[in-house]
């Protein structure tokens, strides 16, 4: 079945993974759900950016766990107009997950999760939402809080009256 013949209710999924066994495994997992269809499979970021931008899938799964495909693939795919990017990784480091979101990913799913988690994440991205597990959300929020200027936090914590007093002192 060509991309043009796909049922409009199916979610078209692109898959970027350097390892053939990973691509095959994800393809088989997705084949178990008739609402999902792998429309693109590539082993290189350059190829994915070209092929997938011509007929964009609804969601792109990126496996950055190989030297041939890294987190920087997210930037390249985003620049090619692909926006619903889901990172599928075995890396558990929250800093790496945060970096994936900073580069343009809309979700991260760990490879140690069950298949249903990946399927739900795909549907969530397709619906226009981000996929964050609770632990990932907590790490991201903590990182954002740590980045803020401590002086700015102090100023924001002042009461309305304290702001008025500061203005008066300034005059």
Q: What is 6-58 written as a DSSP string?
A: S-TTSEEEEEEES-HHHHHHHHHHHHT-TTEEEEEEESSHHHHHHHHHHS--S
Among 110, 67, 66, 119, residue whose Cα is nearest residue 87 = 110
- pLDDT recorded at residue 1: 38
**Alpha carbons 59 and 125: distance in angstroms, whole number:** 7
CB contact at 8 A, 139 and 97:
yes
- Could you give the percent of the chain with pLDDT greater than 70? 85
- pLDDT recorded at residue 38: 95
The CA-atom distances, in angstroms, between 47 and each of 51, 69, 77, 90 are 6, 11, 10, 23
Looking up tokens 């945060």, which residue turns up? Answer: 98
- pLDDT recorded at residue 6: 47
- CA-based diameter of the chain, in Å? 74
| pLDDT (tens digit per residue) in 60-72 | 999 999 888 888 8
- pLDDT recorded at residue 96: 87
The CA-atom distances, in angstroms, between 96 and each of 31, 49, 91, 136 are 29, 22, 7, 11
- pLDDT recorded at residue 131: 92
- Residues of the chain below pLDDT 70: 1-8, 143-150, 152-154, 156-158
- pLDDT recorded at residue 3: 41
- pLDDT recorded at residue 87: 95
- pLDDT recorded at residue 147: 65
| pLDDT (tens digit per residue) in 85-113 | 999 999 988 888 888 988 899 999 999 99
- pLDDT recorded at residue 145: 64
């Amino acid at each position: 079945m060509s991309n043009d013949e796909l049922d409009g209710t199916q979610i078209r999924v692109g898959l970027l993974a350097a390892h053939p066994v990973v691509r095959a495994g994800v393809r088989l997992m997705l084949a178990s759900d008739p609402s999902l269809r792998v429309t693109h499979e590539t082993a290189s970021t350059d190829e994915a950016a070209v092929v997938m931008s011509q007929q964009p899938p609804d969601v792109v799964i990126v496996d950055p766990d190989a030297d041939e495909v890294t987190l920087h693939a997210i930037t390249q795919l985003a620049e090619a107009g692909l926006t619903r990017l889901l990172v599928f990784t075995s890396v558990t480091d929250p800093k790496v997950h945060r970096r994936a979101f900073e580069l343009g990913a809309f979700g991260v799913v760990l490879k140690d999760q069950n298949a249903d988690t990946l399927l739900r994440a795909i549907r969530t991205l397709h619906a226009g939402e981000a996929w964050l597990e609770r632990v990932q959300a907590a790490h991201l929020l903590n990182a954002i809080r740590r980045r803020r200027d401590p002086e700015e936090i102090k100023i924001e914590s002042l009461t309305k009256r304290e702001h008025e007093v500061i203005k008066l002192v300034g005059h």
